[in-house]
Structure 1
Amino acid sequence: MDVRNTESELMDFRVRVWVIGVVVMLLLGVVWARLVVLQVVRHDAYAERAESNRTAVVPIVPNRGQILDRNGVVLASNYSAYTLEITRSKVENLEETIDQLAEVVEISQRDRRKFKRLMEDSKSFESIPIRTRLSDVEVAKFAAQRWRFPGVDIQARLFRSYPLENVGSHIVGYIGRVSQKDKEAIEEWEDAANYRGTEVIGKLGIEQSYEKELHGQTGWEQLETSAGGYAVRRLNSRPATPGDSIVLSLDIRLQKMVEELYGNRRGALVAIDPRNGEVLAMVSKPTYDLNLFVGGIDTENWAMLNESIDRPMLNRALRGTYPPGSTFKPFMAIAGLESGKRTPDTTIMDNGSWTFGGHTFRSGHPNGPTNLRRSIIKSSNVYYYMLANDMGVEAIHDWLAPMGFGQLTGVDLKGEVRGVLPNQEWKRNTYKRPEQKKWFAGETISLGIGQGYNNFTILQLANAMAMLANHGVKNKPQLGLGRVDAVTREYQPLPRDAAQPMGYKASNVEAVRSAVAAVTVEGTARGVFMGASYQSAGKTGTAQAVGVRQNEKYNASRLSEYQRDHSLYIAYAPVDNPTIALAVIVENAGFGAAAAAPIARRVMDYWLLGRYPSEDDMAAMRKGQASTPIGPSRNANDIPLPGETLPLAGLPVHPLPDYRTDGAAAAVAPSGPVEVEED
């Protein structure tokens, strides 16, 4: 045996043992270092993660606050119900599953359409209701066969309810499931964490504008969970705080009355308290049933609302724009006086037409020598043709814009449009072709009588009339009157912007106020207000829906309904101390005194005298066949408030007078046809 080979092998063995030992020591060192990191350096982080795996924090969504009118009538509330819901990611064959479910509980075609619409705005892992408001029997039937339907479950949900259905629908608005766009917007909010677990959000109207007040404070539960993720016990919790209730300045009985007066006609009315900007009524006709949106609207009803030629989803008071016609004249008169282009005694000759640049502008009928007062009483077009020409388009814009025309009023509803109060810059920015961008002097003339490019909302007209009623002091219109604390149930008024004096000369304002007050006594609205026990101020207006050639006379019978002139009226009352100002339009209904003014008369009779139209009067008004009230009026206090009423301490309710105890108010105005003078 070779000794040298043996020693070499021993040496190699020792080296291998030493290398292995070093490797083992290094590995032990790595393990030891890792243990130090896990047990010492990152102990707190891993301990917290382990605890989170053992516990879960579940948000508790609060009950949504109610919406009430100024008398405490409930306009929006909540109810709880069971829903049958499907999580698509857990279902293999969706259509087959729905068909099998329909054998257990009733699932209508409307339910299926609604479900498909909700799928478009939802993720596959989200739970979507296929049936709402399950009965106890249906819940029991499904529970017995729950094992057959993986991905389908029953949930207890809180649903929104609109007890008055379509009354005030454009104002109240509705809620809907939180869309991806909503989620992105919520992430930018300071209180985004408060919306964890929230599935619905205000989409329109007051529901949208006062979302954060109505939502409430989200609570939470900390639950201990098993390895399988099931809750074992509750460790801690904080209850959710319901949302505050919002009280509106609307008188919903007045709102409902006006909506009924319109019947099937289209239009809008806004009534404001000129002393503070409170919106008393904001009507847009036609309306729609808000309950169609509870739980998600189905495709058929959505198409019906959006494709109707009457456009029921359009809030005509807030988003509909119209030429104001002659209702624009009192505000042009103020501009003429303030700009120095006219005095109250400036007199022009109204021969029934006026020619400028070889073009004759028609007026309807001659009024002879006409000053400012007569121009409003007789609704002289010639007077305002000449005034517009003397002022020019830029001055008209600069004087009328501060009154709110072509501007956002700032009302507490989203989606308000500006309308158009034109000037040269507006035209340059609006039209594309160079020849269209130029402003022509003849275009200024039509602006003076509220035609041409002028297009305003009924809210803007009502707000301007409220400013005139308030002696040249403007208030921002507001629907939110106060809030009721969800915990203390105490009523607190909502903040309101300070009044804004326009800075007009008092004698100029009073000259125009005197003229509009005479309209109901000796002017175009005298027939409608015959027999009224109060004096109101007003101005009729007729606005073209389509243009008529200069040499062609307007003939409503030759036009389709949707091409006929609009009927407008603006007013305030009582003249000496106004408590209500309004603007009203009845689309395609002709002269202002024929359709719009009679509605204004009923609103003022209600607010000032506590009078509610008789059944015969209501029926005639719905058809547009009444001027002065027909038959003995009813006492408004005898007409029940629609829906449930919650008595609220501290609510500044406007008490309606009992007209039966007031001799002057009890007189019934003569009924029958009266002469209607064209404005």
Structure 2
Amino acid sequence: MWIKRRIAIKDHAAEANLFARRAIIALILVVIMVGLLLSNLYNLQVNKYSDYQTRADGNRIKVQPVAPNRGLIFDTQGVLLAKNTPVHSLDIIAEDVKDIDALLVRIKTLIEVSADQEKSFRRALKQNRRRRFKPISLIDRLTDKQTAIIAVNQHLLDGVLIDARLKRDYPYADLLTHALGYVAKINPKDAARIEADGLDANYAATRDIGKLGLEKYYQNLLHGDIGYRKVEVNSRGRVLREMESQAPTPGNNLHLHLDIELQKVAQQQLLGNRGAVVVLNAVNNGILALYSNPSYDPNLFVHGISSKNYNALLASKDRPLINRSTQGQYPPASTIKPLIGLLGLEQGLITEKTKMWDPGYYQINDLEHKYRDWKKWGHGHVDIYKSLEESCDTFFYDLALRLGVDAISEKMVKFGFGEMTGVDIFEESSANMPSRAWKAGRFRQSWYAGDTVSIGIGQGYWTSTPLQIALATSVLANEGQFFEPKLLNAIESSTGKINSPAQDRPPIVLKHPNNWKIIKRAMRNTVEKPTGTAHKAFVDTTYQAAGKTGTGQVIAIAQDAEYDKDKIAERHRDNALFVGFAPFDNPKIVVAIVVENAGGGSSNAAPIARQIMDTYFAKHPLAADSLIPILSPLP
């Protein structure tokens, strides 16, 4: 049997030294490793403490932007026109959701989600692809029952939040839409504009923005400044406690010249008709009423209008989305005759005593074509007073032709025709003040004498907005003093209330200031004298009004044809117009009315102006000296 033999140790000292060296090396390696470990621990715990603390806090602590409350809007008497109402919305943070489709299916098993709401959500989700951390609303306005159902099941709905916030509300619905406008969700175009203006940080928590009217024009005043709150959250993102906060600065409140009572009268009087009413404070051209009919409820847009409702507004032949008071382009008709007469007096082509014979028509140099007067048997001998009082067309055909289009166009622009009025909403048309150059550029045609004859009675190529007509008449009533029309009266912030000054333009100065009084007296005759076209509408008023009626032709009538409204399509009938001011001796109010396809201005527009003026003076009784009749006889 073989027995393993033990190897004898030959050199005990050498082997001890080898072991010692290996042990020392191992010890050194251990020390180095421990040193590296301690060094790294020091680096993590000391050098990078703040970095990792920030990361940890980022998981535990969130800084949430807080949207400011939007400023309120009041009328001239302090009546609240636009307010903020608390609502609950169902929001989704896409970053916290693994499967959006599955989440939507789960939500729809709990509460009703319309097709429009889901479509809008998916569109917003696509548009905000780079900002998946931002909440996106699925339902803007939850009912109490829906809120309770989602709250109970929220632990099953990752990424779903119930957000309580203030939403814009318009208590007067369609009464003020075209003046106030509305707010709606911020879309990509809005976001791009906000970013370009360097305001994206201030809009971090804002969801709605002014889209129309005052809400858009004064967006920066109404919005306010953002706040924040620092909160501690758990692993699921639920807020455990608020650690720190800074309240947002609410937007400024706006106080308007608008009088809600006059606005109501305007709506009542236009009921069933298309048209517009503009009422100005004659002292500073503050807008007391600005109404366009038909209108629509702006609250539909605030909460997200359905495709069905929006398409109905777009398809309506009555065009409710158009603000007729500032965008409607109408022939001003006879409402501009006072201004044509004023220009004739200034040019010396007529005087207070100039008379002409009106046989019921007018011919240019005995040409065959006859420009008819509305009174086919004529007005007989007429001067500036009678021509305005009875609205004689023939007098102004002749005067316009002698003035020429160049002089008329140049002077009427100074009264505000053919340009923006300066009103504080963006939805405005300049309409058209024709000239030779305009026609050459537009139609590549020469200007003819017949074109000039037509604009002498506010027809032809001349179009204007109701606001332009009111503004020009205000300048006339104030004998050249020119203020831009404004809705805003005062701005109220946390520091107090500041009145918004009236913005004036250079006044219109006449060579013969008495010409103002001649034209104004003629407008007074229109209301005061029994033969005046507006007399019936203003019988027994407690104030002295002055004005001018107008009947705007929509389609041309053949020379040998008679106008018969019963044989003409409703939308081809004449427009009814009236413009006036009161009191005559110290104007306080200017009213302009346009009623589409209603017929004569004396019977269809002037009575509306009477109701508005009655309402105004019932609230603002006149001083005794304003009630004294004019002692000098009317011409």
TM over 0.5: same fold? Answer: yes
Contact (CA 8 Å) 2:294, 2:319: kept in 1 or not?
yes
TM-score (norm 2): 0.83
In 2, the alpha carbon distance for the partners of 1:142 and 1:232 equals 19
In 1, the alpha carbon distance for the partners of 2:485 and 2:122 equals 39
In 2, the alpha carbon distance for the partners of 1:597 and 1:364 equals 18
In 1, the alpha carbon distance for the partners of 2:95 and 2:368 equals 74
Q: Which blocks of at least 5 consecutive residues in structure 1 are unaligned?
A: 1-30, 611-654, 666-679
Relative to structure 1, the CA distance from residue 150 to residue 415 in structure 2 (aligned partners, 3 Å threshold; closer, same or farther) is same
Contact (CA 8 Å) 1:344, 1:371: kept in 2 or not?
yes
Relative to structure 1, the CA distance from residue 384 to residue 191 in structure 2 (aligned partners, 3 Å threshold; closer, same or farther) is same
Instruction: State how 1:221-620 maps to structure 2 within 5 Å.
Output: 221-222=229-230, 236-356=244-364, 357-365=367-375, 366-431=378-443, 436-485=444-493, 487-488=494-495, 490-498=496-504, 500-504=506-510, 505-522=512-529, 523-608=532-617, 610=618
2:75 maps to 69
Relative to structure 1, the CA distance from residue 393 to residue 44 in structure 2 (aligned partners, 3 Å threshold; closer, same or farther) is farther
- The answer to whether structure 1 residue 123 and structure 2 residue 123 are counterparts is no
In 2, the alpha carbon distance for the partners of 1:254 and 1:179 equals 35
Contact (CA 8 Å) 1:274, 1:581: kept in 2 or not?
yes
How far residue 100 of structure 1 moved from its aligned partner, in angstroms, is 4.1
Contact (CA 8 Å) 1:346, 1:372: kept in 2 or not?
yes
Contact (CA 8 Å) 2:117, 2:139: kept in 1 or not?
no
1:644 maps to none
1:647 maps to none
1:640 maps to none
Q: Which amino acid aligns with 1:569?
A: F
1:641 maps to none
Contact (CA 8 Å) 1:266, 1:285: kept in 2 or not?
yes
Q: Which amino acid aligns with 1:59?
A: P
Q: Which amino acid aligns with 2:433?
A: L
Relative to structure 1, the CA distance from residue 254 to residue 228 in structure 2 (aligned partners, 3 Å threshold; closer, same or farther) is closer
How far residue 281 of structure 1 moved from its aligned partner, in angstroms, is 0.6
In 2, the alpha carbon distance for the partners of 1:197 and 1:229 equals 18
What SS does the aligned partner of 1:379 have? coil
Q: Which amino acid aligns with 1:509?
A: W
Which whole-Å deviations, capped at 9, do the CAs of 1:274-318 have from their partners, x for residues lacking one?
111111111101111121112211111111111111111111001
Which stretch of structure 1 is more off in the superposition, 559-568 or 121-130?
Answer: 121-130
Relative to structure 1, the CA distance from residue 228 to residue 164 in structure 2 (aligned partners, 3 Å threshold; closer, same or farther) is closer
In 1, the alpha carbon distance for the partners of 2:415 and 2:230 equals 56
Which whole-Å deviations, capped at 9, do the CAs of 1:62-114 have from their partners, x for residues lacking one?
0111111111111111112211234567667767654543432244xxx4324
2:190 maps to 182
2:19 maps to none
Q: Which amino acid aligns with 1:116?
A: K
What SS does the aligned partner of 1:546 have? coil
How far residue 244 of structure 1 moved from its aligned partner, in angstroms, is 1.3
What SS does the aligned partner of 2:561 have? coil
Which stretch of structure 1 is more off in the superposition, 261-270 or 226-235?
Answer: 226-235
Which stretch of structure 1 is more off in the superposition, 335-344 or 257-266?
Answer: 335-344
Which stretch of structure 1 is more off in the superposition, 192-201 or 296-305?
Answer: 192-201
How far residue 440 of structure 1 moved from its aligned partner, in angstroms, is 2.0
In 1, the alpha carbon distance for the partners of 2:67 and 2:491 equals 20
What SS does the aligned partner of 1:482 have? strand
Relative to structure 1, the CA distance from residue 221 to residue 345 in structure 2 (aligned partners, 3 Å threshold; closer, same or farther) is same
Contact (CA 8 Å) 2:281, 2:287: kept in 1 or not?
yes
In 2, the alpha carbon distance for the partners of 1:580 and 1:574 equals 8
Which whole-Å deviations, capped at 9, do the CAs of 1:579-629 have from their partners, x for residues lacking one?
101110111000001110010000111111x1xxxxxxxxxxxxxxxxxxx
What SS does the aligned partner of 1:599 have? helix
How far residue 205 of structure 1 moved from its aligned partner, in angstroms, is 1.0
How far residue 53 of structure 1 moved from its aligned partner, in angstroms, is 5.5
How far residue 151 of structure 1 moved from its aligned partner, in angstroms, is 4.2
What SS does the aligned partner of 2:284 have? coil
In 2, the alpha carbon distance for the partners of 1:120 and 1:372 equals 64
2:12 maps to none
In 2, the alpha carbon distance for the partners of 1:127 and 1:237 equals 20
In 2, the alpha carbon distance for the partners of 1:94 and 1:524 equals 69
What SS does the aligned partner of 2:201 have? helix
Q: Which amino acid aligns with 2:516?
A: V
Which whole-Å deviations, capped at 9, do the CAs of 1:42-77 have from their partners, x for residues lacking one?
999979986995765432110111111111111111
How far residue 158 of structure 1 moved from its aligned partner, in angstroms, is 1.7
In 2, the alpha carbon distance for the partners of 1:252 and 1:378 equals 34
Q: Which amino acid aligns with 2:396?
A: Y
Which stretch of structure 1 is more off in the superposition, 155-164 or 266-275?
Answer: 155-164
Q: Equivalent pairs: percent with the same residue?
A: 35
Contact (CA 8 Å) 1:114, 1:299: kept in 2 or not?
no
Contact (CA 8 Å) 1:119, 1:128: kept in 2 or not?
no
Contact (CA 8 Å) 1:525, 1:593: kept in 2 or not?
yes
Contact (CA 8 Å) 1:115, 1:128: kept in 2 or not?
no
What SS does the aligned partner of 2:603 have? coil
In 2, the alpha carbon distance for the partners of 1:158 and 1:314 equals 29
In 2, the alpha carbon distance for the partners of 1:223 and 1:134 equals 25
In 1, the alpha carbon distance for the partners of 2:404 and 2:563 equals 28
In 1, the alpha carbon distance for the partners of 2:604 and 2:50 equals 74
Contact (CA 8 Å) 1:168, 1:256: kept in 2 or not?
no
Q: Which amino acid aligns with 1:533?
A: T
Larger radius of gyration between Structure 1 and Structure 2: 2
Instruction: State how 1:185-200 maps to structure 2 within 5 Å.
Output: 185-189=193-197, 191-200=199-208
What SS does the aligned partner of 2:215 have? helix
Contact (CA 8 Å) 2:341, 2:519: kept in 1 or not?
yes
Q: Which amino acid aligns with 1:516?
A: M
How far residue 119 of structure 1 moved from its aligned partner, in angstroms, is 4.5
How far residue 463 of structure 1 moved from its aligned partner, in angstroms, is 0.7
Relative to structure 1, the CA distance from residue 445 to residue 89 in structure 2 (aligned partners, 3 Å threshold; closer, same or farther) is farther
Q: Which amino acid aligns with 2:295?
A: T
Q: Which amino acid aligns with 1:156?
A: A
In 2, the alpha carbon distance for the partners of 1:128 and 1:192 equals 17
In 2, the alpha carbon distance for the partners of 1:164 and 1:247 equals 16
Q: Number of paired residues?
A: 571
Instruction: State how 1:583-662 maps to structure 2 within 5 Å.
Output: 583-608=592-617, 610=618, 655-657=619-621
How far residue 541 of structure 1 moved from its aligned partner, in angstroms, is 0.3
Contact (CA 8 Å) 1:115, 1:129: kept in 2 or not?
no
Contact (CA 8 Å) 1:274, 1:475: kept in 2 or not?
no
Q: Which amino acid aligns with 1:77?
A: K
Contact (CA 8 Å) 2:191, 2:200: kept in 1 or not?
no
How far residue 502 of structure 1 moved from its aligned partner, in angstroms, is 0.8
Q: Which amino acid aligns with 2:435?
A: N
